[in-house]
Amino acid sequence: MLDSDLMAAAAAATGFMPEDEGRALAEAAFAAPDGPILEVGSYLGKSTLYLAAAARARGTKVVTVDHHRGSEEHQPGWDYHDPELVDPAVGLIDTLPGLRATIAAAGAEDVVVAVVARAEDFAALWGTPLAFLFLDGSHTDESAQRDLASWAPHLAVGGVLAIHDVFPDPADGGQAPYRIYRKALDSDAYTELTGQGSLRLLRRRS
């Protein structure tokens, strides 16, 4: 059973994950095979808490990796730029303090392992088969394709790949997550599970 306190904290946290998609994410992570849960793209920790609710219930950890300098859409001049997230000492976005505050306030420091690194750099060091992989990093084609290429090989057969912000219609949102979803599905290495909204869920079969 999902940890109800962490589910409530996730719903109240700042971020871009709708509650119905967050619950579907947590339920999918809870139902995944035994093994680690890993998230690419932490931002301020909202989706991390949904995954933590599953991790605590399973007696495991969720690893969340992010360089914490913000995606393209978080930079100055873009729609999702928040000037309060700029570190005045260096003049760059820094979402790590916000993530740490979110995780600490929810009492989830015992189940969340936060890694500050570029996802592809950390993937090169990772060696444990994943039970659940959630891709929600930068939404440019280059970075989304890089996240899929560097992390999908670490997903165990039977493990679940989750991709957020998948919009088949360009009028609804950017297409980079949709393209990696199609690439994974068209590879015949995955079968599709029931998703929710813009959240797509795929089980690795080979």
Is 67 strand, coil or helix? coil
Helices (H), 32-131: 46-58, 96-105, 119-123
86-87 and 62-66 beta bridge pairing? unpaired
Q: Which of 67, 68, 139, 164 is catalytic?
A: 139
Sign of the alpha-carbon torsion through 81, 85, 88, 89: negative
Residue 67 is among the residues annotated as catalytic for this protein: no
Residue 37, phi then psi, degrees to nearest 5 = -110, 130
CB atoms within 10 A of CB 200: 25
Q: Quickly list DSSP for 168-191.
A: SSTTTS-SHHHHHHHHHHHTTSEE
Q: Which residue type is seen at 189?
A: A
Closest among 97, 87, 35, 89 to 66, alpha carbons compared: 97
Angle between helices 176-186 and 141-151 (to 10 degrees): 40
Tell me the catalytic residues: 139
